[in-house]
Amino acid sequence: MSIDEYRRKYAYGEDYGTSYYKYGPIAEKPYVIENRGLFLRGESKLVLKIFGISREIVVGPDVVKYLGSLEDIARYLIYPMKDGIVDRDDKMSWRILYELTKYGFEQTLPETRDFEGFYVTAALSAISPDYMYERIFDIHTRIDSELGAIKAITIIPQPLAVAISEKVVTCVVVESGHGNTQVTPISMYPIRNAIVALNRGGAEADAIASEILRDLGHEDRAREEKFVRMFKESVGLIPRDIDEAIKKAKGDPRRFRTIFRIPGTRIEIDMGEKSWMRFLIGEIVFNPEHELFESYYKRGMPRPRDTIVGGERISGTLPLGEAIEAAVSRTSIELQPSLFRKIILSGGNFAWRVPRGLEDVAVNSAEKIRIQLEQHEIEANVELVSDPIFSVWKGTIVYSLAVPDNYLWDWKKREGWYKRGVHF
């Protein structure tokens, strides 16, 4: 088998998202686990042992098993990434990323005789500092020494992975996950000083969904993260025009009445007269500046934090269309028209559906952005990738296949393989 054939057989991809870690060898779809870890601290090691807990940290689906049970054990559930970033000195969080990464390799390690380690591409936020690259290399070096699982690793920015999986060279990738939204103009490679990163994502839609549950009289559910998430994904809608959608919904409560049910349970939430509120959940993703949200911020819902981009302050509530304009305006005049010609949306926070019969008031993410840009007299082509949650991971696999074996890691370009036998 030639080295290229080998690389094709053992390509592996990783997408470190704020809420989900997507990983796995070349396939149709990645494995997905929540990006979190549970630290268990027993009064005595014996108690842990009796319950068959051999590790101090649990990751993956087992976390749920230990969340509520066993009273004598102190538990710390930690989500290691904030807006795609882990602090340099945050030891617990780095430990969890190590455990998650190792979990993936343990689960997928081939038993084939020819296996000498994967060619791994990891995807990180486009604004990741160098130390995150170093730590991800260190984690893989350590796992390779333990499992022999990694022959070479490289790291790419998440938006570039999307562009690669869509096979486009010049475009704007808007990646919106749970914790952050990155607007990245790309021309072969991300144009770093044009990136606009916003501290907001699906989490903000969760926050308003939780307030709405409170308004509906379900205070207890409003505090249950998982429940809020399901409610949000099920009832949330992106309005074509928020004021008009609300007017229509209030004027025709029978048509718009929304009942949320969880299959397999008796839980049922009837939004009744307040069904119009479902439009708030989608709108906040695109325009958290709308005056409708002011009262929610006043009563304590967190306002998305501002970010500093190239020395300039970007408001955390900047409408998405304007964030795209801001990013494109930082590129050369010649490039701008071709960037607006190809705007690609990816990430779970863009996966909103339009229920049948509501097409007059609800739209998908691509249409919403197109409308926002049109209001600023910009004609743009906007499209949503076919698999918003997995497109970063798909791009990492394509990249693992494409980078030649003898191309070594270069810190200046941030390209190439970081290799066993050369770097570790």
Residue from 117, 177, 304, 321 that binds Mg ion (CB under 5 A)? 177
* Contact call for residue 233 and ligand ATP (CB under 6 A): yes
180 is a contact residue toward ligand ATP (CB under 6 A)? yes
Least spacing, CB of residue 181 vs ligand ATP, in Å: 7
What is the smallest separation between the CB atom of 114 and ligand ATP, expressed in angstroms?
A: 33
CA angle 155–157–158, rounded 5-degree value: 115
DSSP string of 3-67, one letter each residue:
HHHHHHHTEEEEEE-SSEEEEEESSSS-EEEES-EEEEEESSHHHHHHTT---SEEEGGGHHHHH
20 binds ligand ATP (CB under 6 A): yes
Tokens of 26: 């070349």
**Which region, judged by CB under 5 A, interacts with Mg ion, from 11-19, 228-236, 336-344, 366-374?**
11-19
Amino acid 320 reads: L
Dihedral (Cα; 352, 198, 208, 202), 10-degree rounding = 40
Site for ligand ATP in 191-230 (CB under 6 A): 201-202, 229
Q: Does 258 bind ligand ATP (CB under 6 A)?
A: no
- Cβ proximity to ligand ATP: between 250 and 305 the closer is 305
For the beta sheet containing 20-25, the strands, ordered from the edge strand earlier in sequence to the opposite edge, are 31-34, 20-25, 11-16, 118-124, 150-157, 418-419
Should residue 17 be labelled a site residue for Mg ion when binding is judged by CB under 5 A? yes
Minimum gap (Å) between residue 23 Cβ and Mg ion: 12
Instruction: Tell me the residue ranges of DSSP E strands in 203-279.
Output: 259-261, 268-270
CB atoms within 10 A of CB 49: 11
Residue 179 binding ligand ATP, by CB under 6 A:
yes
Q: How many CB atoms lie within 10 A of CB 232?
A: 23
Is 18 a binder of ligand ATP (CB under 6 A)?
A: yes
84 binds, among Mg ion, ligand ATP, none (CB under 5 to 8 A by kind): ligand ATP
Say which residues have a Cβ less than 8 Å from residue 264's Cβ, sequence separation at least 6.
none
What is the x/- site pattern for ligand ATP, positions 122-141, by CB under 6 A? --------------------
Which stretches of the chain bind ligand ATP, using CB under 6 A?
17-20, 84, 177-180, 201-202, 229, 233, 236, 347-349, 351-352, 389
